[in-house]
Structure 1
Amino acid sequence: MSERSQQALRIGVIGLGVMGMGTATALLQRGLNVTGCDISQAAREAFTAEGGKSVATPAELADCHIVLVVVVNGGQVEQVLFGEQGVVGHLAPDSLVMQCATVAPSQAKQLGERLAAEGLMMLDAPISGGAAKAKSGDLSVMASGSPEAFSYAQPVLDAMAAKVYRLGDAPGVGSSMKLVNQLLAGVHIATAAEAMALGIRMGLDPEVIFDVISHSAGNSWMFENRVPHILSGDYTPLSAVDIFVKDLNIVHQTGRELALTTPIAASALQLFTAASGAGFGREDDSAVIKVYQRLSGITLPEAANDACGG
């Protein structure tokens, strides 16, 4: 795509949460014409402050050539695409929908079929990397779709991702790969919380546990990334507990569809579900450790202002 046509390309991003806002900002910073969409006025104002345009309903993205869907779950995907104010009925033929949310592979396949029936292309393109990489344009994209869809999406993929995995020529494969990632991510977070709880219960210094394990064979990316949230006592959600309740439920559902048992993922799901039921669902996913605090009375590090009585 020429520089001139890239500048003329109109991009819509539906969902200005942590990942959507970061992605939309990265696209904007790389010179693309981006309109953000969110029901939250605060989110829209935040994106406008970055220099982008914003709208309140997906239907208002009718003039976009490419629409990224970066919402929370499959129900929201259905609503923003096919609901009363959905974008699908308003897009021009041969426009592209990039479906970036974590959904069941079976739903991704169905979305591809439904969008094709409307004359639209779809890239099944779940994303991974967290808020910081979203904002810097360094995400991993696990994508599947037609060669035409990949070609059309190239300027967007170049702007948002450090690595794009081309996994197949039809929707569903990208979401399948994302599900493998989410199984591991959820299990690693749950295991990191349990390991920290055990160490604290045995009287070890939490800071020392982190230092030793992050330089030892038991380390994982999630341990190294999430345990600092526990050490600082800061559970401001970058990725919330309820996200993994959703994603590990999709793992469980897909395992049932395939007659494949997933006992380790099921154990992690129970921990996240317990954390959500205890009122921590909207806190950072590292707050799963609070389940152990409730069960065994371990003392967790406090936020600096809490420790000072602020």
Structure 2
Amino acid sequence: MPGTLEKSGTRLALGDLTLTALSDGYLDIPAAYFSNVTPTEQQAVSPSTRFGANTWLIETGTRKILVDAGSGDCLKERFPASGALTWQAPEKATERAAVTDIVITHMHADHIGGLSVNGNSLFPNAVIHLQATEWDFWTDEALLTTAPEDKRPMVGLIQALAKPIGNQLRLHRGDTDLGNGITLISAPGHTPGHQAVHLSADSREMILLADVVVSDALQFANPEVRYALDSDPVLAVETRKTLFDRLSADRIPFAATHLSTERFGYLDTRGNGFAFVEV
């Protein structure tokens, strides 16, 4: 059964859980980042397409759980409209200190850049939940030399952002119950340890897909479309199809990081693909 949604469409109540969408701005992504597309699909995202940059706050009454932390200042040069949450601002110190947990869906810089500044953790009281596979992959020092040359600056940035949070980690392996109706779901393909977040209460549920889908302009209608930053494009497609089938069949509300809207919605089947229907 679907969750109860407030009129704004950016807050969802599930039993004692409250979920709020928090926008970190947006990113304009070149059409060349997509492959396995038709000429019509290519034209639809040319010369670039706008990605949202959504994160979420889950409140349980005793816990404040942030799902991803945005990009902070680390992508401003390339994406000036990123980092809108400004977690690094001094006036947000009290708000940051109240965060008890942070779920990192994966370690791309637009998800972890807001965790630290100048080598210091911005959320000192939070337990940071991450898949062990993800942490081990990105923090491997050898990756700086074994990664393709054009990806090495990204690897170096991720490793620098990871250092200040090492002592706050709780590493998980596969699907994990965090309590309060919150479950981490292994959803690899975009990155080796990419995870989604499942919420449930009172026979209701919803899912935060993170980067299982990155383009609402292309990948709902055609889940086969590949994205340049997927570490395993074939597995990413398989994961996307599996979760899309589940969302559609069970009429589960969901959100995703890079949708062009912060609002929650459902998936309807549409021909050989799907269509996003906003609440």
> TM-score category by the smaller chain?
0.3 to 0.5
- Larger helix fraction of residues: 1
Relative contact order, CA 8 A, sep 6+: which one is greater?
A: 2
- Larger strand fraction of residues: 2
TM-score by length of 2: 0.32
Greater CA radius of gyration, 1 or 2? 1
